[in-house]
A = this chain, B = another copy of it.
Amino acid sequence: MNVGFLGLGAMGSGMALNLLKAGHKVIAWNRSPEKAQALVAEGATAAQTPQEAFQADAIITMLADDDTIASVVLAGDLLETAKADAVHIVMATISVGFSKELERLHAARGLAYVAAPVMGRPDVATGGDLNILVAGKPEHIQKVQPLLDAMGKATWPVGDAPHKANVVKLGMNFLLASAIESMSEAIALARRNDVPAETVVEVLTNTLFAAPAYKVYGSVILDGTFKPGFKLPLGLKDIRLVLAAGEQSGAPMPFASLLRDNFIDALAHGDGDKDWAAISKVALRRAGLT
């Protein structure tokens, strides 16, 4: 398939590469064009403008956030320039409110809109092993399923209205942050009682919590350098989107509120360049540990 791809960050470049490997034709655009060069070397075409990328049969948007999509796609009137039968797949983690606005704008334009946010860090994207949440009209999803299959190991359909995929994606990120926080509090309790963090993580990841979330972040916490896979300010952004979605739909989320405070605490202590799992340090610091 002929695919326009906007947004070649740590996640997007791996995803686009997997499309190429699966035999799709990729017209790639990135705000800083040098990032497209690596892809061109693998067979992609570099789009000079986002409009060009929007001429494809399927357009994948993997831009940073609501504002970036608004400034590139909406301000550029790109929805107007797409082919009538194209499908626009927004794979970034965006707000539920903005996803609903995109539903209205695509419907007004008669353009197919699929939301397909992904779960996985950059190495998982490169490996083609993402879990992809997807929502949209079944016939639209069916059309782009080969693309999703090329980028992920599994696709999880969650409904007809695209914004539902964003709801579930935000819910998953909330669960991840909650897992990081609860592990951190358990570790603070353990260390204050002379039980090493390693013991706690070993026990939990081999018994009731033997799941990727706890294994990945348990090991990130034990490592302690918090080299960023997903930066802390982006984590705060996602928790802010979780809370906004809760507020707009009427769901109090006290764990999420508490997480937000801890992200702010971590930023106020200079951890803005670290992985979001560095909120772990807040629980330890509050217990007088380092």
Contacts and interface: CB of A to CB of B under 8 A. Distances in A.
A229 to B, nearest CB: 14
Identical copies in the complex: 4
Contacts of A270: 288
A174 B283 CA distance: 15
A288 B262 CA distance: 12
Given A188-B251, A210-B212, A164 B193 contact: yes
Given A209-B213, A250-B267, A195 B168 contact: yes
A143 interface: no
Given A156-B203, A172-B208, A167 B193 contact: yes
Nearest to A160: B194
Nearest to A171: B186
Nearest to A247: B264
Interface in A116-171: 119, 131, 133, 154, 156, 158-159, 161, 163-164, 167-168, 170-171
Nearest to A269: B288
A186 B245 CA distance: 11
Interface stretch (A25-33, A40-48, A101-109, A175-183): A175-183
B168 A190 contact: yes
Contact of A194 (B156, B164, B208, B246): B164
B183 A175 contact: yes
B253 A268 contact: no
A273 interface: no
A214 B161 CA distance: 27
Contacts of A207: 119, 131, 154, 156, 172, 212
Interface in A236-253: 236, 240, 242-243, 245-247, 249-253
The interface size bin for chain A is 35 or more
Given A252-B265, A269-B288, A245 B211 contact: no
Interface in A263-290: 264-265, 267-270, 283, 286-288
Contacts of A119: 207-208
A200 interface: yes
A204 to B, nearest CB: 6
25 contacts: A158-B195, A161-B194, A163-B193, A164-B195, A167-B193, A168-B190, A168-B199, A171-B186, A171-B189, A175-B209, A179-B179, A182-B182, A185-B254, A185-B255, A208-B211, A208-B213, A209-B211, A211-B211, A211-B214, A247-B260, A251-B264, A251-B283, A252-B262, A257-B261, A258-B258
